[in-house]
């Protein structure tokens, strides 16, 4: 395996690398750094967590060590899709450039324009920015991009997902045609390939892993879950999440829990805190200061669970994350790769678990098609309890416990109402002798009904029809036919 000392990096950069505790480059670093130092365009394709940031930071610092920046004209530009990733790149730059006199500016949302303007006015060698904030400064006339010598696009596929491609194309058009471009992505969608064909000049393609693969050191699993009722699904799903966390025990030292929607991020974080779990949310609607405090707490170990939207799927470099829980199946299959890439970093073992409800099974199939393998199914930790509850709610148990269910069908209620009548109409009790002469059997124990006297007379005139429901005592004259009454 090669050493960093063999890659023709600046001696001061090598010193900083050694102080950071690194000796050997990762495959993407070993493949991308030499052509980058030669001034060639580089197209790097590698899964998240493989060290792509250092792949462009180290050669960029080496090339910029000679020369000086002018006011409002940065010498290099690094574009990142999220604030967190931009801040991560800035931290890497500070680590590797501490022995080199280079200046930087971080242009991200949530920070005052005035402070950023002051840095740009002094002149910066490295400008690290999100596309939106960079164009805001440019349109206000505070920034010129004609002096950019090296341009880096990091996590290009995430840029595509977030709708930044038009901004990227505009920024490319504002930089010199002679610039060097370093382009990095975990996947190569057709739109990304179109941009590379348009704006990169004979790039050296460095691909160290199959596109959209997941680390072999990450243990994966998915729980197929179906709620007992639609209005209970969300709360039962959170219960499954807590059971998964508890099931991992001490192995789960810390974890990132991903949700698809910002509202669910807040709800899940609040629920975990309610049940005694040390959790905090992070998503795009929070203030930058709060997001920074939350990330710092997670990095230094004072916060155990980070509940996040996909804003945290990129740019979080916390090497010791033991678990990733996908509370929701991501809508884009590529996001699954990036989410679980937060664990198992730097060669460590990691665990990734996901909860899939029936409506997300299509997205799960897309993920398995992308990673080209089936994700192992896990037993539902709440299954035994739900089965016991179902057994306790069988019809027999319900009848013994609380009588007939309110949800009985109309037919059942009708049958229950007709039972007394059927009982009364069964074996006919003793009959009155006078009725036998008329051929009519008249029970003495039937209950009266409205209009029963009229109906019994009609039946008697028809000959031979039984009289039903006349009460405990049946006067003999009622059972007589009309002819017999006239004779009397």
Three-class secondary structure assignment of the chain = CCCHHHCCCCHHHHHHHHHCCCCCCCHHHHHHHHHHHCCCCEEEECCCCCCHHHHHHHHHHHHHCCCCCECCECCEEEECCCHHHHHHHHHHHHHHCCCCCCCEEEECCCCCHHHHHHHHHHCCCEEEECHHHHHHHHHCCCCCCCCCCEEEECCHHHHHHCCCHHHHHHHHHHCCCCCEEEEEECCCCHHHHHHHHHHCCCCEEEECCCCCCCCCCEEEEEEECCCCCHHHHHHHHHHHHHHHHHHHHHHCCCEEEECCCHHHHHHHHHHHHHCCCCEEEECCCCCHHHHHHHHHHHHCCCCCEEEECHHHCCCCCCCCCCEEEECCCCCCHHHHHHHHCCCCHHHCCEEEEEEECHHHHHHHHHHHHHHCCCCCEECCCCHHHHHHHHHHCCHHHHHHHHCCCCCCCHHHHHHHHHHHHHHHHCCCCCCCHHHHHCCCCCCCCECCCCCHHHHHHHHHHHCCCCCCCCECCCCHHHHCCHHHHHHC
Residues 185 and 268 in one domain: no
Last residue of some domain: 363, 386, 409? 386
Q: How many domains does the chain have?
A: 3
Is 400 inside a domain boundary? no
Q: Is residue 69 part of a domain?
A: yes
Looking at residue 10, its pLDDT comes to: 92
pLDDT computed for residue 323 by the predictor: 95
Is 166 found in the same domain as 108? Answer: yes
Reading the chain (488 residues) residue by residue, the pLDDT tens digits are 578 989 999 999 999 999 988 888 988 999 999 999 999 999 998 876 678 889 999 999 999 988 777 888 999 999 998 888 898 899 999 999 999 989 999 999 878 888 888 889 888 999 999 999 999 999 999 899 999 999 999 988 888 877 889 999 999 999 999 999 999 987 788 888 999 999 999 999 998 865 556 777 899 999 999 999 999 999 999 999 999 999 999 999 999 999 999 899 999 999 999 999 999 999 878 887 888 899 889 988 999 999 998 865 565 667 689 999 999 999 888 788 888 888 887 678 899 999 999 999 999 999 999 888 999 999 998 764 444 444 444 444 334 444 444 444 445 444 444 444 444 444 444 444 444 434 444 444 444 444 444 444 444 444 445 555 555 666 666 666 666 555 55
Q: Between β-strands 126-129 and 104-107, what pairing exists: parallel, antiparallel or unpaired?
A: parallel
Q: Provide the pLDDT for residue 160.
A: 82
Looking at the domain assignment, is residue 391 inside a domain? no
Q: Please check whether residues 268 and 342 belong to one and the same domain.
A: yes
Q: What is the pLDDT of residue 171?
A: 95
User: Quick one: 345 and 290 in the same domain?
Assistant: yes
Same domain, 94 and 169: yes
Same domain, 130 and 228: no
Please indicate, yes or no, whether residues 165 and 287 belong to a single structural domain of this protein: no
Domain end residue (candidates: 386, 416, 442): 386
378 touches 248 (CB < 8 A): no
Domain for residue 403, yes or no? no
Residue numbers of the domain that contains 339: 218-386
Question: Using CA atoms, how far apart are residues 280 and 190, in angstroms rounded to an integer?
Answer: 37
Q: Do 291 and 348 have their domain in common?
A: yes
112 and 237 in a common domain: no
Give a yes or no: residue 405 inside a domain. Answer: no
Instruction: Annotate 84-119 with b (16+ C-beta within 10 A) or e (fewer).
Output: bbbbbbbebbeebbeebebbbbbbbeeeeeeebbeb
Q: Are residues 228 and 114 in the same domain?
A: no
Residue ending a domain, among 156, 182, 207, is 207
Q: Which residues pair with 73 in a beta bridge?
A: 70
Structure tokens at 260: 């698809």
Q: Would residue 146 count as lying in a domain?
A: yes
pTM of structure:
0.63
Same domain, 168 and 57: yes
Can you give the CATH number for the domain in which 27 is found? 3.40.50.300
Q: Do both 447 and 328 map to the same domain?
A: no
Q: Is residue 252 part of a domain?
A: yes
With respect to residue 412, please indicate whether it lies within any of the assigned structural domains.
no
């Amino acid at each position: 395996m090669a050493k960093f000392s063999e890659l023709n990096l600046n001696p001061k950069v090598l010193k900083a690398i050694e102080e950071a505790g690194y000796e050997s480059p990762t495959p993407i670093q070993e493949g991308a750094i030499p052509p980058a130092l030669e001034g060639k365009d580089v197209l790097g394709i590698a899964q998240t967590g493989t060290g792509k940031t250092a792949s462009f930071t180290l050669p960029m610092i080496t090339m910029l060590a000679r020369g000086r920046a002018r006011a409002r004209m940065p010498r290099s530009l690094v574009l990142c899709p999220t604030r967190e990733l931009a801040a991560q790149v800035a931290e890497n730059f500070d680590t590797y450039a501490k022995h080199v006199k280079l200046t930087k500016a971080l242009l991200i949302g949530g920070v005052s324009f005035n402070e950023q303007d002051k840095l740009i006015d002094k002149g910066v060698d490295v400008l690290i920015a999100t596309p939106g904030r960079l164009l805001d400064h440019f349109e206000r006339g505070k920034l010129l991009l004609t002096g950019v010598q090296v341009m880096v696009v990091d996590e290009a596929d995430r840029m595509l997902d977030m709708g930044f491609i038009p901004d990227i194309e505009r920024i490319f058009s504002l930089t010199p045609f002679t610039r060097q471009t370093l382009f990095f992505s975990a996947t190569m969608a057709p739109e990304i390939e179109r941009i590379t064909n348009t704006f990169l000049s004979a790039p050296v393609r460095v691909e160290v892993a199959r596109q959209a693969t997941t680390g072999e050191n990450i243990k994966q699993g998915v729980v197929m879950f179906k709620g007992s009722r639609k209005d209970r699904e969300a709360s039962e799903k959170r219960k499954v999440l807590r059971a998964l966390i508890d099931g991992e025990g001490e192995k789960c030292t810390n974890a990132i829990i991903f949700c698809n929607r910002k509202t669910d991020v807040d709800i899940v974080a609040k629920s975990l805190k309610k049940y005694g779990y040390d959790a905090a949310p992070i998503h795009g609607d929070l203030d930058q200061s709060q997001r920074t405090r939350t990330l710092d707490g997670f990095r230094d170990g004072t916060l155990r669970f980070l509940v996040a939207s996909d804003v945290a799927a990129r740019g979080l470099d916390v090497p010791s994350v033991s678990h990733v829980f996908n509370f929701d199946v991501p809508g884009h299959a590529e996001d699954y790769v990036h989410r679980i890439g937060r664990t198992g970093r730097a060669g460590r073992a990691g665990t990734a678990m996901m909860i899939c409800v029936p409506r997300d099974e299509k997205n799960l199939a897309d993920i398995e098609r992308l990673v080209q393998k089936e994700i192992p199914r896990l037993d539902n930790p709440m299954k035994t309890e739900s089965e016991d509850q179902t057994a306790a709610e069988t019809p027999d148990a319900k009848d013994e416990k609380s009588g007939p269910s309110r949800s009985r069908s109309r037919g059942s209620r009708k049958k229950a109402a007709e039972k007394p009548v059927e009982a009364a109409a069964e074996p006919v009790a003793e009959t009155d002798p006078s009725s036998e002469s008329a051929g009519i059997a008249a029970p003495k124990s039937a209950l009266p009904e409205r209009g029963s006297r009229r109906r019994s007379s009609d039946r008697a005139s028809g000959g031979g029809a039984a009289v039903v429901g006349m009460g405990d005592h049946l006067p003999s004259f009622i059972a007589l036919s009309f002819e017999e009454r006239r004779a009397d």
